[in-house]
Amino acid sequence: MINTKTYKYYRDKWLSKRIPTAKSVQLSNRSIFILPSKMGIGFLVLCFILFLTGTNYQNNLILLICYISVSLFISAMIFAYFNLKDLVLSQHKQERFYAGSNSFIHIKLGQDNQQTSKNAFSLHFKIENQPSVSLDKLTDPCVVQIPTAHLPRGKHKQPRIKVYSNFPCNLFTCWSYVDLDIHLIIYPSPKNAVEALNTRSSLPTNESKHSLHGKTDFESIRDYQKGDSPNIISWKHVAKYNDRWVSKTFEQQVSVKHWLDYNAMSGDKEARLSQLCYLVTQQGNVEFGLKLPKQIIEQNKGQQHTQNCLEALALC
């Protein structure tokens, strides 16, 4: 008796040879598996009963119906195979999520070649132990969002994705396991660091006497002016005032440079990283640097910088 674990081990070993990891996978006869579905087996049983009835009553028409059903079964097999054949799967973009939130991977479907598009029906996508996602019909290249397991902070290699289809008539299940070498980067879950910081007098600031307590540090709102960074637009107020665009004004928002320091945080490692994560997301247009136990990110600002910092936190 083989238990599931050993079965999976050997299956994965075999699969990695058969369908190697690739950035983009085109399904072919090597990677497509096909077997009758439960209903397909039922259908075959029906064909057998029809055969028995036709034979026992020596009834040619019942035999004819039996043979028509069998031939439909065979042609359904061919159609099921061609439904998946040549389908190209690739990763849509690098995935980043905060720990504790729902995470997904996005797979681009279709053919690389834009000239011809691939027709496919009833596609289902699934990561083991997770709910599946269905795509009723594929005509143009499109992107599907497949839920993944809840993952802790870090970088996670994603398991193989099962692509399957019961088209046509649910007589066959045609499936493939693809490994697109997808890594999910899970940031720490952002935890409000304000309370933690309040208990301690020392603030992670060097050059500014103003604290940077997230939202609390803007003073007022003013009308939007051309050139304002999107980071300082008060979206909440925009929504409230309908069409009037307003920006937050920060005291001393210019030339405030500071460091976010791992050592300045409280709690265990994860708690500290969570707090840092929260602070990083709250920096807006402020230049900041990040000091981690084994890594220092120089002061900078902008979206790319924020992402770099978050990634560093995720991998810390």
Partner 1 sequence: MLTNKGNPLLTNSTSDYSSANIHHIFKHLPIQIATLLALITLSLFSSLYLWVIAVVLLLLTWQSQAWLAKAINSNKENQLYHPLQKWLQNVLALSVTALIAVEAIEKGMLASMVNLLFVATTLKFVGATQRKDHNIVLVLNVFLLATGFLFNQSIGYFIVIATLLFCNFILLASINSRALTIKEASSLIMKLVLLGLPIAALLFVGFPRLAPLWKLPNQQHASTGLSDTVEMGSIAELTRSGKLAFRAQFLKQSPLPQDLYWRTMIHERYDGKRWSIAPFRTNQSLINMPAFANEDADYVITYEPSFTKFLPVIDGGYTRHSSILSLPSRTVEHKELVTQKIQYYVKQFDEHPDKFSLTPEEVHANLTLPKFINPKTRELTKELRLQSPDTEQFAQHVMNLFSQKPFAYTLKPPLLVSYGNNQIDGFMFETKAGFCAHYASAFTFMMRLAGIPSRLVTGYLGGEYNQTQNYYSVYQFDAHAWAEIWIRGKGWTRYDPTSMVAPERILNSLQNALPSESSSIASNSFSLINYRQYAFINWLRISMNNVDFYWSRWILSFDAKSQNNLLEMLFNNKGSIARAIFVGIGLTVVLIVGFIFSRFFFANRQQSPVQLWIEDIRKIFPDLLVSQLNITPNQLLAAVELAHPCTKPQVLELKGIINSILYKNVRLTASTQRRVKRLIQVLKRQQKKTEMKK
CB of 200 to partner 1, least distance (A): 38
35 binds partner 1 (CB under 8 A): no
- Orientation angle between helical segments 60-84 and 38-56, nearest 10 degrees: 160
89 binds partner 1 (CB under 8 A): no
Upstream peptide bond of 152 is cis (omega within 30 degrees of 0): no
Binding-site member from 8, 26, 33, 72 for partner 1 (CB under 8 A): 72
| Residues with Cβ within 8 Å of residue 229, at least 6 apart in sequence | 284, 285
65 binds partner 1 (CB under 8 A): yes
CB of 107 to partner 1, least distance (A): 10
Identity of the residue numbered 190 = P
Gap between the Cα atoms of 280 and 277, Å rounded:
5
Q: Contact region for partner 1 (CB under 8 A) — 152-160, 165-173, 182-190, 263-271?
A: 165-173
Binding-site member from 21, 26, 59, 189 for partner 1 (CB under 8 A): 59
The SS3 assignment for 108 reads: strand
Residues 103-132 that bind partner 1 (CB under 8 A): 106, 116-122, 131-132
227 binds partner 1 (CB under 8 A): no
Please answer whether residues 147 and 133 qualify as being in contact, where contact means their C-beta atoms are separated by less than 8 angstroms.
yes
How would DSSP label each residue in 1-44?
---HHHHHHHHHHHHHHHS---SEEE--TTT-EEEE-HHHHHHH
H or E element in which residue 238 lies: helix 235-240
CB atoms within 10 A of CB 278: 19
Binding-site member from 9, 14, 48, 57 for partner 1 (CB under 8 A): 57
Instruction: Considering the complex, state which of residue 81 and residue 245 has its C-beta at the smaller distance from partner 1.
Output: 81
CB of 11 to partner 1, least distance (A): 24
Residues 130-159 that bind partner 1 (CB under 8 A): 131-145
Q: Which two tokens stand for residue 307?
A: 């992402």
The SS3 assignment for 19 reads: coil
Radius of gyration of the chain (CA): 28
CB of 50 to partner 1, least distance (A): 6
263 binds partner 1 (CB under 8 A): no
Binding footprint of partner 1 on the chain (CB under 8 A): 39, 42-43, 46, 49-50, 52-72, 74-76, 78-79, 81-83, 85-86, 92, 106, 116-122, 131-145, 166-170
